[in-house]
């Protein structure tokens, strides 16, 4: 190998590491507020983003970048007090009729009643994979970290580093997996009182408006998709991954698996895989896999 070729092989992993590592969070650099007519705001020199909802409108934002695999972290502080009827959605999604999507949705509730954390995974336009949880803390009192690990083998939803859900790649069993469509990060705060709280029985109390959710400390160790190519193109093999990209082949160790079981035993309130009435033709195939 020539000296120039040797230098290139050294440079490529360094370049990939630089492309994959996210800079210090600044919402001005990473996101655009896309709707809400001023109800979405970036404050504190770009360190905090807030979304608000009143009777006229909600608000929302999206990432400037598209990603194809990554570990995405965001700290959220949810709407406090009587948040019944409101939904704060934070998710990854592609476009088109056969889109992919990885969802966190926070369903508001009456004061003193717990939020419901609603999760879902869409692949090739098909969802119906809902799992819902209560949280083991008050998500309105302080910021907490909500994370999505998305690599070619699995998707792991985590809260403050504790995994709450894993969706594995089971393409070998005919289950589509999001792996080909780059996705943006989206978030919105909106009124969904036709269904969000107790199936729509509890309506939004507009005397409590405006409702506000806050965001900070965004981080993306991820493959950025731009002009039809991934910043991680030369890093397809996990063996060549930098320390910043350990997520690319990450799986749960035994301690994380135990935490996942703890959450699902104590805080899961709905699992589509246990809803036989909903699937009279049989449960989805991934429900029958370990």
Q: What is the pLDDT of residues 206-243, one digit of tens each?
A: 999 999 999 999 999 999 999 999 999 654 444 334 44
Provide the strand spans (E) within the chain: 31-35, 41-43, 48-53, 59-63, 66-77, 86-93, 101-107, 116-122, 131-133, 144-150, 154-159, 162-168, 184-191, 211-226, 229-230, 268-271
Q: Which residues, in sequence order, are CB contacts of 77 under 8 Å at separation 6+?
A: 139, 140, 141, 142, 143, 144, 213, 214, 215
105 is catalytic: yes
* Cα within 13 Å of Cα(238), Cβ side: 11
Checking if the pLDDT of 89 tops 90, the result is yes
Instruction: Give the pLDDT score at 243.
Output: 43
Q: How far is CA 37 from the centre of its chain?
A: 25
Mean pLDDT, the chain, whole residue set: 89
Q: Is 101 among the catalytic positions? A: yes
Per the CB < 8 A criterion, the answer to whether 79 and 241 are in contact is no
Catalytic residue among 101, 130, 171, 286: 101
Q: What pLDDT shows up at residue 241?
A: 40
In this structure, what DSSP letter does residue 203 have? P
- Domains of the chain are 27-230+244-287 (2.60.120.200)
For 136-159, the pLDDT digits (tens) are 999 999 999 999 999 999 999 999
**Full-model pTM:** 0.89
Contact 225, 68 (CB under 8 A): yes
d(CA 290, CA 286): 8
pLDDT in tens, 117-128: 999 999 999 999
- Average pLDDT (95-103) is 97
Q: Which of 105, 130, 166, 286 is the catalytic position?
A: 105
């Amino acid at each position: 190998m020539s000296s120039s070729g040797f230098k290139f092989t050294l440079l490529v992993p360094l370049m990939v590491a630089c492309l994959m590592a996210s800079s210090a969070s600044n919402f001005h650099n990473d996101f655009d507020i896309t709707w809400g007519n001023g109800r979405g705001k970036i404050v504190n020199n770009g360190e905090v983003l807030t979304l608000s909802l009143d009777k006229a409108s909600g608000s929302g934002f999206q990432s400037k970048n598209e990603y194809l695999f990554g570990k995405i972290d965001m700290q959220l502080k949810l709407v406090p007090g009587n948040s019944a009827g409101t939904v704060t959605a934070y998710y990854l999604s592609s476009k088109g009729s056969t889109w992919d999507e990885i969802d966190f949705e926070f369903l508001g509730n009456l004061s003193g009643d717990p939020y419901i954390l609603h999760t879902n995974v869409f692949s090739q336009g098909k969802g119906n994979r809902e799992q819902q949880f209560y949280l083991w803390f008050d998500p309105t009192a302080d910021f907490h970290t909500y994370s999505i690990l998305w690599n070619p083998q699995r998707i792991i939803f985590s809260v403050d580093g504790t995994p709450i859900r894993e969706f594995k790649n089971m393409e070998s069993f005919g289950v589509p997996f999001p792996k080909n469509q780059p996705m943006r990060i989206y978030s919105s705060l909106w009124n969904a009182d036709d269904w969000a709280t107790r199936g729509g029985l509890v309506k939004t109390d507009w005397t409590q408006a405006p409702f506000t959710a806050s965001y900070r400390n965004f981080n993306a160790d991820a493959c950025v998709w731009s002009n039809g190519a991934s910043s991680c193109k030369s890093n397809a093999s996990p063996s060549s991954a930098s320390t910043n990209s350990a997520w690319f082949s990450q799986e749960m160790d035994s301690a994380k698996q135990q935490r996942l079981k703890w959450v699902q035993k104590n805080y899961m309130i709905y699992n589509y895989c246990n809803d036989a009435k909903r699937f009279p033709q049989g449960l989805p195939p991934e429900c029958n896999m370990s």
